[in-house]
Amino acid sequence: MNFRITLVFALLLQTGVLCNNEEEDDIFIPDSEWKEIKQGQKIPSGLHVRINLQTGKKEAKYPDDQRNQALVVTENDELKEKSDPSSARISIAEIKKSLKKIKNDANKDNLKTMKTKFRNYEEIKKELGHIQLTPKLDSEVIRDLMVDFREEISGAKNNTRLKNILEDLEYLSHQIDNAIEFVNQNGFKNLIYANLNQTNLDIKIITLRLMSSLMQNNPKVQIHGLETGCISELLKVLNLEKNIEVKYQAVGALSSILRRFPLAQKKFLENGGLTVFSKIFEEADIKMNVKLLTLVVDLVSEHQYSSAKDGSEEALKQYEKINMEEKLIENNWCYNINKLLYSIVAADEDNHDFVEKCLKSMNILRDKCATGYDSKILNYLYQKYNRLGLDDIEEDEEYSLSSYFSELKELCHDLLQANKSKQKTELYLKTFISFINHSSLTSFGH
């Protein structure tokens, strides 16, 4: 094929005219003279293009040194091609056909290449094996970490390595499926419960954090924890451990299994959980006591919510068997809360967060504990927050310290009113009973 035909082919490929299934009328055929470019026509690159200022039309032509380099077939050329084959030109239809074949062949090659390059998971592992870079599923990572942990425990017991393994497991266990995979590999028995008997405090703390992550909002793992004795193990840690940070993490793990799980709450009460909590209260660590109180009151709130109209019937039946509020009264928690409020105010009366948590807890239990609350401390806080609310008024802010202090003041007011109402009721009952007894004795005397 001669040089001119090659130029035609190259030019048409460059412009992209032949790559679309367009009609020949859509192709601009240049000339050595200026020629109007019709609407929608494609033009080859390398032409001179201008706007005719008289007509406003766009025009193009060959550069002077490239005339006759882009050739097309005309009807008059057919006779010349027969007499002079070297001057033969390729028709646009033939070029389109050739390009279509090239495109189809390319698609087939690409498909074949894609099929050749595609690898499933097992093939990828084999291919990367020689460079020791093997992709792993989370389940495989958990399995490997468990194996590494057992080997480390039975060997040198490098505490740094053990902590790293536990931290990796904790990171993975935040996903529900990974936590279930941990259970399927018997992780509670082989790893968690064994670690709770470790003497190394860091190992215990990380293990308790791992427990919390595993059971947090994961009913399947909560059930497994209940069935394997998780609650009794945690209560043992709380009862025997002296380190406050270990205890703090143990309460967090208990919180993860007890919340929204009535059967676990029932087991907690049966195992003397509130007694253990009351014993910790006597140690007077305010931060720990606030955490314990928050958990206990949240459980009471669950019970009260289940008793509401929007609570499910099944949940109501389960919570009725627990009777958390009565158990709290039996374990003297009205006194515990009152004592905690005193401790908070004595230690730092400006710790409004702790005061708020304590007041809200008292408010939730006020129907049972109202007369057990000290009116003096409540009245003191009422006056304090009333004063702070007036001093910190900020009209430009939607939510200011003033409104926050007003909320705390209202909590104190509600508790004081409940206390007065309860005292009046009890006084009335005492008077009535005394009157009945007196009347009975008088009648008996007559």
Q: State yes or no: pLDDT of 189 exceeds 70.
A: yes
Tell me the pLDDT band of 127, cut-offs 50, 70 and 90.
Answer: low
Measure Cα distances from 286 to 135, 303, 341, 366 in Å: 48, 26, 9, 21
The more confident residue out of 373 and 186 is 186
Per-residue exposure over 113-128, b if at least 16 CB sit within 10 Å of its own CB, e if not: eeeeeeeeeeeeeeee
Number of Cβ within 10 Å of residue 19's Cβ equals 13
Rounded to the nearest angstrom, the gap between the alpha carbon of residue 402 and the centroid of all alpha carbons in its chain is 34
DSSP H/E element including 119: none
Task: Yes or no: say if 166 and 198 are a contact pair by the CB < 8 Å rule.
Answer: no
Q: What is the pLDDT of residue 205?
A: 96
Mean pLDDT of 390-399: 56
Q: Which of 13-27, 49-63, 174-188, 328-342 has the lowest mean pLDDT?
A: 13-27
Q: What is the pLDDT of residue 365?
A: 87
Q: What is the pLDDT of residues 56-74, one digit of tens each?
A: 788 888 776 544 444 444 4
Mean pLDDT of 209-217: 95
Q: What is the pLDDT of residue 6?
A: 41
Distance CA 360, CA 374 (A): 15
Mean pLDDT of 35-61: 81
Q: Which of 143-147, 154-158, 260-264, 432-436 has the lowest mean pLDDT?
A: 432-436
pLDDT above 70 covers a percentage of the chain that reads 68
Kindly tell me the sign of the dihedral angle through the C-alpha atoms of 241, 243, 246, 252. positive
Integer-rounded Cα radius of gyration of the chain: 42
Mean pLDDT of 256-274: 94
Q: Which of 117-121, 136-140, 147-151, 301-305 has the lowest mean pLDDT?
A: 117-121
Q: Which of 27-36, 177-186, 327-336 has the lowest mean pLDDT?
A: 27-36
